[in-house]
Amino acid sequence: MKESSRDSFKNSFGVLVAMAGSAVGLGNLWRFPYLLGEHGGAAFIIVYLIAVFFICAPIFIAEFLVGRRAQSDTFGSFKILAPGSGWSIIGVFAIIAVVCILSFYSVVGGWSVQYFCKAVTFDFTRGSSEHLDTLFSGFVSDPYKPIIFHTIFLILTSVIVIAGVRKGIESFTKVMMPVLFLIVILIAIRSVTLPGASEGLNYLFKPDFSKIDSSTLLIALGQAFFSLSIGCGTIITYGSYVKKEASITKCATGTVISDTLFALIAGCAIMPAVFSFGISPGEGPGLVFITLPHIFSQMPLGGVVAILFFATLLLAALTSSISLLEVVVAHLTERHNISRKKAVILSFGLFWVLGALCSLSQGVLSDFKIAGLNIFDLFDYISANIFMLACGFLIVIFVGWKLKGKVIKEELTNNGALKISPMLVSIIIFLIKYIAPLAVITIVLAKFNVF
């Protein structure tokens, strides 16, 4: 059968690490802190946590199950599980979402490469700290430099993906994830002990619910999708490389918990410092890149910690970008019979052009706007808040109502081989069938003022 000719992860631990590697990335360290800062701190976190556990975790399980059962790419999975039906439209939405995400993701990945280079030359800790405020805006609006670093980031991503699933993705991520955790914890400790950090902690932990409105709900939900890598085929694709013995619930729980913990620790690393250095929490996408160099410049051994931090930020970004690229590459190799190498090269060309446009939209193209958003923000907005949500919604409907409870039970228990409490299985089925789809639809309709 086809299964034997496909690359796969070695064991459950390998799967967990690769999935956590996909989930933990710029979404946690860059996107979560700045959205948190723009949308009201603690209240945003609470909405985010509810979205993660009640809406996104079930979607995660549903995606995983589809991939593992079908053992095919996103598009092909629906063709295998529901032949001759229109469900493969999910695959189309997924590919659109992935293309939008990787385009701007590789630009931010490029920013991380640049900051890593600055850290290595001790740029943040040399001389006075005044230049740190303008460093970021000066760099991103430059027409050439960010594109050069974006290119480097895409090359790194492509090289790992060419190496394949087990040799490339699995072994790379296994080593990097624990290192990343340690460093962020270290920075969080420094950040909460800075003078004036308590204001930041209040901001993180004392909710003000008046700050929540329908667009905050949508943004928190979109962020939960983004951070867990759901709603665009990544988990289906990775799920398809998972052998039949692995436990879906264990891998899913491990990934969801580590990703969420990571986001919260990142919040503790950034927010207290934001307040301590008088930076505005609503600063936007530059927040992390502006705040952290300040922390490093004021920390004993800050220069060394900066190197460690930006090295791991870059690696976290890479373990996620490879999962995005893998969706496109799996699609090209399995649907269109193109070799892995050719598929990567073709994708590289596409993402290089789209990424360059996103990058320029921070500077020379900043006045070019569609629906009030520049290209970078537009790609971000439509992927996280439209295509991924549509995809996630359709996947739970597919799994809950088309595949039905029996299939879900079979997959969660590996045809009865795994002991999982029947109560837990029923709860998961209930969440997949009713809660997740209803919640997604309600939040989207609320945003468009239907109620």
Binding of ligand TRP by 180 (CB under 6 A): no
Q: Which amino acid is at 81?
A: L
Please select the residue that binds ligand TRP; options are 25, 41, 281, 303, rule is CB under 6 A.
25
Q: Which of residues 80-139 bind ligand TRP (CB under 6 A)?
A: 101
Give me the least distance between CB of 224 and ligand TRP, in Å please: 10
Which C-beta is closer to ligand TRP: that of 132 or that of 354?
A: 354
* Residues forming beta bridges with residue 370, ordered by sequence position: 373
Give me the least distance between CB of 143 and ligand TRP, in Å please: 26
Pair 330, 235: CB distance under 8 Å: no
> Which range, of 48-56, 164-172, 213-221, 229-237, touches ligand TRP by CB under 6 A?
229-237
- Find the residue with minimal CB distance to ligand TRP: 27
User: Which residues lie below 8 Å from residue 309, measured CB to CB, with a gap of 6+?
Assistant: 119, 183, 184, 187, 292, 296
Identify the H or E element spanning 191. Answer: helix 171-192
Please select the residue that binds ligand TRP; options are 72, 191, 216, 227, rule is CB under 6 A.
227
In order of 56, 116, 120, 142, 284, the CA distances from 362 in angstroms are 31, 20, 25, 8, 12
- If you write DSSP's letter for every residue of 316-351 in order, what string do you get? HHHHHHHHHHHHHHHHHHHHH---HHHHHHHHHHHH
> Which range, of 18-26, 149-157, 241-249, 340-348, touches ligand TRP by CB under 6 A?
18-26
Binding of ligand TRP by 173 (CB under 6 A): no
> Which range, of 122-130, 223-231, 292-300, 429-437, touches ligand TRP by CB under 6 A?
223-231
Which C-beta is closer to ligand TRP: that of 59 or that of 119?
A: 59
Give me the least distance between CB of 88 and ligand TRP, in Å please: 18
Please select the residue that binds ligand TRP; options are 229, 260, 276, 312, rule is CB under 6 A.
229
Binding of ligand TRP by 320 (CB under 6 A): yes
Q: What is the dihedral of CA 231, 411, 89, 330, to 10 degrees?
A: 70
User: Which residues lie below 8 Å from residue 187, measured CB to CB, with a gap of 6+?
Assistant: 269, 292, 295, 305, 309
Which C-beta is closer to ligand TRP: that of 321 or that of 359?
A: 321
Give me the least distance between CB of 440 and ligand TRP, in Å please: 15
Q: Please name which of 310, 280, 291 lies closest in space to residue 132, comparing C-alpha atoms.
A: 291
Structure letter (DSSP) for residue 373: B
Binding of ligand TRP by 23 (CB under 6 A): yes
Please select the residue that binds ligand TRP; options are 180, 218, 264, 324, rule is CB under 6 A.
324
* Residues forming beta bridges with residue 373, ordered by sequence position: 370
In order of 104, 138, 144, 161, 351, the CA distances from 348 in angstroms are 13, 27, 18, 11, 5
Give me the least distance between CB of 20 and ligand TRP, in Å please: 10
Please select the residue that binds ligand TRP; options are 71, 112, 234, 240, rule is CB under 6 A.
234
Please select the residue that binds ligand TRP; options are 191, 323, 347, 374, rule is CB under 6 A.
323
Pair 22, 261: CB distance under 8 Å: no
Q: Which tokens belong to 192?
A: 């909460």
> Which range, of 26-34, 153-161, 288-296, 305-313, touches ligand TRP by CB under 6 A?
26-34
Please select the residue that binds ligand TRP; options are 15, 17, 20, 27, rule is CB under 6 A.
27
Binding of ligand TRP by 26 (CB under 6 A): yes
Which C-beta is closer to ligand TRP: that of 238 or that of 348?
A: 238
The distance from CA 139 to its chain's CA centroid, rounded to whole angstroms, is: 24
Separate counts of helices (H) and strands (E) for the chain: 23, 0
How many residues touch ligand TRP under the rule CB under 6 A: the total is: 15
Binding of ligand TRP by 71 (CB under 6 A): no
Give me the least distance between CB of 57 and ligand TRP, in Å please: 14
Pair 31, 219: CB distance under 8 Å: no
Binding of ligand TRP by 355 (CB under 6 A): no
Please select the residue that binds ligand TRP; options are 45, 232, 329, 354, rule is CB under 6 A.
232
Which C-beta is closer to ligand TRP: that of 197 or that of 391?
A: 391
Which C-beta is closer to ligand TRP: that of 47 or that of 256?
A: 256
Q: Where are the alpha helices (DSSP H) in 193-247?
A: 197-205, 214-227, 234-239
Q: Where are the alpha helices (DSSP H) in 51-144?
A: 57-70, 74-81, 89-120, 131-140
3-state DSSP call for residue 7? coil
Site residues for ligand TRP per CB under 6 A? 22-23, 25-28, 101, 226-227, 229, 232, 234, 320, 323-324
